[in-house]
A and B are shown apart, each in its own frame.
Chain A
Amino acid sequence: MTYASHLDILVADDTAVSRALLCNSLEELGFTRVRVENDGKAALHKLMQKPAHLVISDYNMPGLNGIELLRALREFQATRSIGFILVTGRSDRSLIDEGRKYALNNYLAKPFTTIGLKASIEAVFGKLA
């Protein structure tokens, strides 16, 4: 049985179109428990109230960027173990290395594909059925 329908996911992206594209792909892959936030601070606030299993976050966001959000999540007991996939248009290796310092689980380069998104989630949680 697939874990897709049990995984709580929060998508953080300040671009509405990108949020919609991510949600469409997640829906296509069978994920039904998906929340969205449009900036890093709001995402952190919501995750403190109700943690998720996975955060899929854009890098460029107002308030907190993707790495700052990751760093903040790792500081609190309740959110420390949340899986984190960074979505970025920058192919900057130093950005990924910076994320690794805070236990970044994976990253996804833009423009992404549904297959690429699936692979990046599977690398964290295992094969989807």
Chain B
Amino acid sequence: MAPDLVRNIVLGELHVSDEPGLVICTTVGSCVAACLFDPVRGLGGMNHFLLPDGAAAARDDGAQRYGVHLMELLINSLLSRGASRTHLQAKAFGGASLTRGLTNAGASNVEFVEWFLRVESIPLVGGSVRGTQGRRVQFWPNSGRARQMLCAPIEVVVPRSQPPAVQPHGELELF
């Protein structure tokens, strides 16, 4: 059996294909990889995005427009190659919370993609989101099959900023 053709994508990219055996790969942490496919046409695609502005993203107009634009690019690429909007199905991966002490950008990305798919009436039929680990995602666009491998957890703790130490000398005025 011939080995799968591999197409790797990184943040900000997308790829669409109907080639049997081709697998699209990416690695996501707090980013989201949205996989859309038309099982009737045998065509699918994956994007990899991160909304700007962390936790506020899902409620921020500018960030929303950016995310919508990226999702539209993927949908338009699929439709222009013969996919039917009514057949589209989705799988979503990523949105992990990797850093304690920082805003939860992962949750905002997941919140956004789930909202987008709901409004566009594209059923979310699978995937794996949130959690605390990165994911290596493989997606076969021709069949819609997807697989993930969890990355080893990374413990990143951002320390709280300490108040500046008061010098033992000098004057201190209290209000």
Whether A89 pairs with B73 at a CB distance below 8 angstroms is: yes
Interface size of B by CB at 8 A reads 19
Q: Contact string, B102-114, partner A, CB cutoff 8 A, digits 1/0? A: 0000000000000
Q: Contact string, B79-110, partner A, CB cutoff 8 A, digits 1/0? A: 11000010000000000000000000000000
Quote the shortest CB–CB distance from A2 to chain B (angstroms).
22
The number of residue pairs between A and B whose CB atoms lie closer than 8 Å in the complex comes to: 43
Q: Which of A14, A17, A89 has the most CB of B within 10 A?
A: A17
Q: Which of A18, A21, A111 has the most CB of B within 10 A?
A: A111
Whether B79 pairs with A16 at a CB distance below 8 angstroms is: no
Please give me the residue from chain A that is nearest to B73 by CB atom: A89
Whether B120 pairs with A60 at a CB distance below 8 angstroms is: no
Interface of B is mostly: helix
Q: Is B119 an interface residue (CB 8 A)?
A: yes
Give every chain A residue within 8 A of B69 (Cβ-Cβ): 89, 110-111
CA distance A40 to B85 in the complex (A): 15
Give every chain A residue within 8 A of B62 (Cβ-Cβ): 111, 113
Give every chain A residue within 8 A of B66 (Cβ-Cβ): 111
Q: Is B64 an interface residue (CB 8 A)?
A: yes
Whether A15 pairs with B79 at a CB distance below 8 angstroms is: no
Interface size of A by CB at 8 A reads 16
Whether B65 pairs with A60 at a CB distance below 8 angstroms is: no
Q: Is A114 an interface residue (CB 8 A)?
A: yes
Give every chain B residue within 8 A of A62 (Cβ-Cβ): 79, 85
Q: Is B61 an interface residue (CB 8 A)?
A: yes
Give every chain B residue within 8 A of A112 (Cβ-Cβ): 65
Other-chain residue from B76, B80, B119 in contact with A17 (beta carbon distance below 8 A): B119
Which A residues are closer than 8 A to B by beta carbons?
A: 14-18, 20-21, 24, 60, 62, 89, 110-114
Given contacts A17-B119, A60-B80, A62-B85, 16 further A-B contacts (CB under 8 A): A14-B85, A15-B72, A16-B119, A16-B120, A17-B71, A17-B120, A21-B61, A21-B68, A24-B61, A60-B72, A60-B76, A60-B79, A111-B65, A111-B68, A112-B65, A113-B62
